[in-house]
Amino acid sequence: MRFTKMHGIGNDYVYLDCVRNPIPADPSALSKVVSDRHFGIGSDGLILICPSNKADARMRMFNADGSESEMCGNGLRCVAKFVYDHGIARKPRLAIETGRGVLTVDLEVKHDKVSRVRVNMGEPILKSVDIPTTLPGDPPVNVPLSYGTMRFAATCVSMGNPHCVIFETQPDEELLATTGGRDRVAEFGPMIETSAEFPRRTNVHFVKVHSPGEVTMRTWERGSGITLACGTGACAVCVAGVLTGRTGRKLLAHLPGGDLELEWSEADNHVYMTGPATEVFSGEFVFEG
């Protein structure tokens, strides 16, 4: 099996060209194997680049635990880079079919290779039943969540996949990472992900606001755990920042793997995400599944 390893600001996936090669018989099982960082290739999951009858290519995304997700913003930028760089479609604007429909991407090309990608992520989904969550509100904004002695205020948004955004309220930036020496993302991320309030589980983001135009965030990603970046999550943070009055519609988000530029446009209500896409290496992998 020929594969390509790529990442969007550290959110890394194994990519398979299923336009020119057969689709794996069991991509869920394959994702679990290739994602293993000790016995596999090592990644946050598996992404298949497939033919599409309505776009330049179709993206299917599997988490490290084998579950299939609707979308991955960082993965989508890498799919666009692969489609262009590897000659599937050599156009400065591409249409990619995803689990939330066909999305448009604009490419920044340097030395005949894609360096950055601007993605039109579409309109945020704000109705609770569609996110989905049982928390009150359309959308839920600053809704109390309790886990043991910890209290959080959750704002929920879907960007084709569900997100729970928690803004830090303390002035100490270290609270973004720890409470009493405990890693809050590692400890509470899996609790919130699998909480009964989220029937399809959820991605969880802890966010520190520096100014109306700048935040730092960390992510517990549904099905993959702590990741260096989450593109749809950064889009959700941008929307949640506006909904809670903490940020403006244009936002620079600092993630552990790098930065993303976000805009929730007033003109069309769409969220736009701009960031890099990087090809790391290609190789052959033997899967005995």
Q: Give the residue among 37, 52, 66, 95 at the shortest CA–CA distance from 223.
A: 66
Active site residue 72: yes
Give the pairing type, strands 225-227 and 45-50. unpaired
DSSP conformation class of 198 = -
Among residues 72, 156, 164, 235, the one annotated as catalytic is: 72
Q: What is the DSSP string of 201-244?
A: --EEEEEEEEETTEEEEEEEETTTEEES--HHHHHHHHHHHHHT
Is the separation of the CB atoms in 46 and 13 below 8 Å? yes
User: C-alpha 146: how far from its chain's center?
Assistant: 25
Pick the catalytic residue from 18, 164, 230, 235.
Answer: 230
Q: Measuring CA to CA, how many Å separate 168 from each of 25, 59, 95, 218, 222? A: 44, 34, 36, 11, 21
Has 230 been annotated as catalytic? yes
- Structure tokens, 252: 């620079």
Residue partners of 175: CB distance under 8 A and separation at least 6: 168, 184, 208
Q: Which of 161, 267, 149, 139 is nearest to 205 (CA)?
A: 161
Q: Which residues are catalytic?
A: 72, 230
